[in-house]
């Protein structure tokens, strides 16, 4: 049986070969997708000796077929003359440029995510649509618009690693839906990026993803209900992923070029290292949140820092740390409820849990907050 994931790892290199030969990005991406579909159909019975060369050859011919016309005949013949035989594919790694293109600042976050999954990840439009719970036609339009947007961007233009990392983290946080595990896909793509560029923040993101993914099995119970970090069965955490994530993080931190993803990974590592929530080194967690706030100024980081302060120094201190934050922030009311409970004001906490439940954006989160309110009212 053919390893579909292994085949998809070849897609970025194949796509960049076509672009370097003169194909525009949108047409090249369509041709590569057609070649991928042909590979999935024929390789299980007749696997090629040179998978990348086979994909390049088939994708190139699909591109030429699609652009055949009287006005382009001369150009097509020139391109055909330049076509190398199987096995002559350049080994130049253009994966990084492709990541930059798909995360171009001119794209909306949702479009960048979709284009990255299609062009870099090699997923079909149907798979991406299923993962995002939207109709396939809607996703096809989104991807087409994205490809038109970046059509004029040259591969030689420099890209921004931070933008690429942001897009990959968005992919990771989509989680799982349909027949594609986007968290696992984000980890795979981040690993590929780490092979293409030596950057401590790339390592930081990979470590963060691995440490979060390690807790996945414990995040919900047998009925699908949300299990908060403090109540998770830590024996269900994936220790191999934790070990790998911590090792990658240590290597990144040793380079002394701290960035937001490294700081977040350090916080996740402290949680992973603690035998229980009560034994977490909350003082160090607060210190890492101080670094994260200094790096980003993020209101969300300040909100999470307030939770850590509440654990380290008590509910009143945590509530004081909320000063100046916008009450409209996601999870603000739930955090207030938690901190009021830690401060011993159970009536206020119960009312705030109920209010947070009304504002919840997911059923699992709403159900959890309703149970918290009921627990205190009982």
| pLDDT score of 156 | 64
Q: Are residues 226 and 269 in the same domain?
A: yes
Q: Would you say residue 53 lies in a domain? A: yes
Divide the 378 residues of the chain into consecutive groups of 10 and give the mean pLDDT of each group. Answer: 74 87 87 89 86 91 77 50 45 69 89 91 88 89 91 72 92 72 90 91 98 94 88 95 97 96 98 94 98 96 97 97 94 97 96 96 91 91
The helix or strand, by DSSP H or E, that contains position 181, with its residue range, turns out to be strand 180-181
| pLDDT score of 76 | 46
Q: Are residues 102 and 84 in the same domain?
A: no
Q: Would you say residue 109 lies in a domain? A: yes
| pLDDT score of 224 | 83
Q: Would you say residue 108 lies in a domain? A: yes
What is the DSSP-derived secondary structure letter of residue 176? E
Q: Are residues 168 and 212 in the same domain?
A: no
Torsion of CA 249, 255, 260, 265, to 10 degrees: 10
3-state secondary structure of 88: coil
Domain count of the chain?
Answer: 3
What length does the chain have?
378
CB 307 within 8 A of CB 338: yes
Q: Are residues 31 and 84 in the same domain?
A: yes
Q: Which of 378, 301, 289, 303 is nearest to 337 (CA)?
A: 303
Q: Are residues 78 and 142 in the same domain?
A: no
Torsion of CA 346, 351, 356, 359, to 10 degrees: 180
| Boundary residue ending a domain (280, 302, 331) | 280
| pLDDT score of 75 | 54
Number of H helices, E strands in the chain: 20, 2
CA-based R_g, the chain, Å:
24
| Boundary residue ending a domain (92, 119, 143) | 92
Q: Would you say residue 320 lies in a domain? A: no
| Boundary residue ending a domain (280, 313, 335) | 280
Q: Would you say residue 18 lies in a domain? A: yes
Q: Would you say residue 38 lies in a domain? A: yes
Structure tokens at 16: 């960049």
Question: Is the alpha carbon torsion for 191, 194, 195, 200 positive or negative?
Answer: negative
| pLDDT score of 70 | 41
Supply the range of the domain harboring residue 227.
198-280
């Amino acid at each position: 049986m053919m390893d579909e994931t292994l085949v998809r790892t070849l897609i970025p290199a194949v796509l960049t070969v076509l672009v370097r030969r003169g194909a525009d990005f949108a047409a090249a991406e369509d041709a590569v997708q057609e070649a991928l579909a042909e590979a999935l159909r024929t390789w299980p019975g007749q696997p090629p000796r040179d998978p990348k060369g086979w994909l390049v050859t088939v994708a190139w011919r699909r591109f030429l077929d699609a652009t055949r016309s009287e006005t382009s005949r001369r150009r097509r013949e020139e391109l055909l003359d330049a076509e190398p035989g199987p096995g002559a594919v350049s080994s130049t790694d253009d994966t990084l440029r492709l990541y930059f293109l798909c995360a171009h600042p001119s794209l909306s976050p949702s479009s960048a995510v979709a284009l990255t999954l299609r062009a870099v990840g090699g997923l079909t439009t149907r798979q991406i649509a299923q993962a995002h719970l939207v109709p396939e036609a809607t996703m096809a339009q989104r991807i087409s618009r994205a490809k038109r947007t970046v059509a004029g961007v040259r591969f030689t233009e420099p890209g921004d690693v931070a933008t690429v990392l942001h897009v990959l983290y968005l992919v990771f946080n989509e989680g799982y839906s349909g027949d594609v595990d986007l968290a696992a896909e984000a980890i795979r793509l981040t690993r590929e990026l780490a092979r293409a560029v030596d950057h401590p923040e790339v390592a930081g993101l990979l470590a963060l993803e691995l440490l979060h993914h390690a807790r996945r099995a414990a995040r919900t119970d047998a009925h699908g209900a949300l299990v908060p970090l403090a109540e998770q069965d830590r024996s269900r955490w994936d220790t191999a992923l934790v070990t790998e994530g911590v090792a990658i993080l240590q290597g990144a931190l040793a380079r002394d070029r701290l960035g937001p993803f490294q700081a977040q990974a350090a916080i996740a590592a402290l949680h992973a290292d603690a035998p229980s929530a009560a034994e977490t080194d909350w003082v160090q967690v607060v210190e890492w949140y101080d670094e994260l706030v200094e790096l980003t100024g993020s209101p969300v980081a300040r909100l999470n820092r307030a939770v850590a302060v509440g654990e380290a120094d008590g509910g009143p201190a945590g509530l004081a740390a909320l000063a100046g934050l916008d009450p409209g922030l996601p999870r603000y009311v739930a955090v207030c409820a938690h901190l009021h409970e830690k401060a011993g004001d159970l009536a206020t906490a119960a009312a705030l849990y109920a209010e947070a439940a009304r504002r919840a954006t997911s059923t699992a989160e709403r159900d959890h907050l309703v149970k918290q309110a009921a627990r205190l009212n009982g």
